[in-house]
Structure 1
Amino acid sequence: MAEPGGRMRQLPLDLAGTPSHAEEDFLVGPSNEAAYAAIEAWPRWSDPVLRLEGPPGSGKTHLGAIWAARAGPVRIAARLVREEDVPQLAAAGAILVEDADAGPLDEPALFHLLNRVRERGGSVLITAASPPEAWGITTRDLLSRLRLAPVARLAAPDDGLFKAVLVKLFLDRQLVVDTRVVDYLAVRLERSLAAAGEAVAALDAEALSAKRRITRPMAAAWLRATGRGEGEEGEDEDEHEDG
């Protein structure tokens, strides 16, 4: 979350229901700083191919968008790479191949693409939630090539970063929320940026509808209603918190 010297950087956020993939909206913390540095190092990569791996909601799409803004690549889902498209893709110089573990691959086509990019001195960024061994690849040469490529790994946001994300999401909606609400949500939500964005958007809508500020009981009720946690039954803390 903080750089040496105490400076804050930015992380992938889903603002007002619409994902913001701008670089200035990327909070960097221990869970993603190595991956961010790898993207920032382009075009001085040690290899033409970089694998970007991390669980859903960890920021792969956002980092891919940051790289796309810098490199201007052709973007394509891995499952859509076909042999007849390889020459045109390779000619682009930079290719963002997304979600390599999300569906069946045309393995000869992907292998051919990686070889052509190496020959031409281009760059390929491949995103996936898991390593190549889990993609069901049967072409040994392709699996070997992917294994040899450098990998930048993302983890789920750590506690401090996740709380910082929640705070920024609330502030971006011009909402001032008690730290107890943030702490309460942080330990009960799925540790992903998508979950944080959904929670903040839902609580904002509920507060507007009820014409009340966001409180911990309101967060607890939303968690119960959506099956994300048992929340807290019993007395309504709103009166105590408002008083």
Structure 2
Amino acid sequence: MAEQLTFDLPVREALQREAFFVSPSNAIALATLDTTELWPSNKLVLTGPRGSGKTHMAHVWAVDRDAIIIDVDELTHADIPMLASMRHVVVENADRIADLPNARDTEEALFHLHNLILAEGGRLLVTASTPPNLWNLCLPDLASRMQGTCVTKINAPDDALLSAMLLKQFEDRQLAISYPLIPFLIKRMERSTANLRCIVEALDAAALRLGKPISRKFAAQVLDNISLSAQDNF
């Protein structure tokens, strides 16, 4: 069969609360976000591996609290007093600060945002893949404040969460599949949310290129090709 012309169309990711699946691996973190009034010192760090649902959970919280979301690498260009005046702010990917070319300026911006929000009686939610003591912060005052912040964690995904995340990835890409494909993929894949996203991307690209439905046989061939490619790159 001739391969079809493909287009790199944007994926519309659903980030509403109704699209968020609660399982034992994330229930405590979600409950902690939902009880904002109980946060010690009015701030919280949400951690979890890449693709674990931190951004989705942060968006749910932001909608509930009418909060503004900003990525850590945008802080140096942001109006910090204006952000603080919003009273509820999410700073995403804070663990990337040390890798930024303007790391020192970013640390100072986060430090001032932290202080201004708390002075306003607001709430600060920070997301990261790792806890604050692993961020390699150079500004002592910021390091002490972040390390003194309560941390809630999204744990490794269980089968229920992996199933829901696979379904969501397929739905975000508007891909029709049969439900038996989900447990089949979970048994064959590395138990990683980052790997899950890569598998769905590969299945989507291959199905579009070859004009074939995503059956279990087709998925097995794609997974085998991914494994062979990984071995060749090793």
TM bin (shorter chain)? 0.7 to 0.9
Residues 1:131 and 2:104 aligned together: no
Which residue is equivalent to 2:155? 155
Aligned partner of 1:141: which letter?
A: D
TM norm structure 1: 0.74
Q: Following the alignment from structure 1 to structure 2, what is the Cα–Cα distance between the partners of residues 228 and 136?
A: 36
Query: Is the contact made by 2:39 and 2:150 (CA closer than 8 Å) also made in structure 1?
Result: no
TM norm structure 2: 0.76
Query: Is the contact made by 1:100 and 1:128 (CA closer than 8 Å) also made in structure 2?
Result: yes
Q: Following the alignment from structure 1 to structure 2, what is the Cα–Cα distance between the partners of residues 221 and 195?
A: 16
Residues 1:223 and 2:223 aligned together: yes
Residues 1:108 and 2:102 aligned together: no
Deviation at 1:69, TM superposition (A): 0.9
Which residue is equivalent to 1:73? 67
Q: Following the alignment from structure 2 to structure 1, what is the Cα–Cα distance between the partners of residues 24 and 170?
A: 22
Aligned partner of 1:121: which letter?
A: G
Deviation at 1:100, TM superposition (A): 0.5
Deviation at 1:141, TM superposition (A): 2.1
1:26-75 CA-partner distances (Å, limit 9, x unpaired): 11111111111122223453332110111001001101111111122222
Aligned length: 213
Aligned to 1:20, what secondary structure does the other structure show? Answer: coil
Aligned to 2:126, what secondary structure does the other structure show? Answer: strand
Deviation at 1:96, TM superposition (A): 1.1
Instruction: Name the % identity.
Output: 36
Q: Following the alignment from structure 2 to structure 1, what is the Cα–Cα distance between the partners of residues 37 and 54?
A: 18
> Structure 1: which 5+ runs fail to align?
1-15, 231-243
Q: Following the alignment from structure 1 to structure 2, what is the Cα–Cα distance between the partners of residues 202 and 82?
A: 36
Which residue is equivalent to 1:175? 177
Q: Following the alignment from structure 1 to structure 2, what is the Cα–Cα distance between the partners of residues 107 and 113?
A: 10
Which residue is equivalent to 1:191? 191
Residues 1:29 and 2:31 aligned together: no
Supply the RMSD in Å over aligned alpha carbons: 3.0
Residues 1:54 and 2:24 aligned together: no
Asked which structure has the greater CA Rg, the reply is 1
Aligned to 2:79, what secondary structure does the other structure show? Answer: helix
Structure 1 residues 166-175 or 118-127, which shifts more?
Answer: 166-175
Q: Following the alignment from structure 2 to structure 1, what is the Cα–Cα distance between the partners of residues 187 and 30?
A: 25
CA gap 1:228/1:89 in 2 versus in 1, 3 angstroms: farther
Which residue is equivalent to 1:166? 166
CA gap 1:17/1:196 in 2 versus in 1, 3 angstroms: farther
Residues 1:40 and 2:34 aligned together: yes
Aligned partner of 1:146: which letter?
A: M
| More helix, by proportion | 2
Which residue is equivalent to 1:237? none
Deviation at 1:149, TM superposition (A): 1.3
Query: Is the contact made by 1:184 and 1:216 (CA closer than 8 Å) also made in structure 2?
Result: yes
Aligned partner of 1:71: which letter?
A: R
Aligned partner of 1:189: which letter?
A: M
Aligned to 2:40, what secondary structure does the other structure show? Answer: coil
Which residue is equivalent to 1:13? none
Q: Following the alignment from structure 2 to structure 1, what is the Cα–Cα distance between the partners of residues 203 and 60?
A: 29
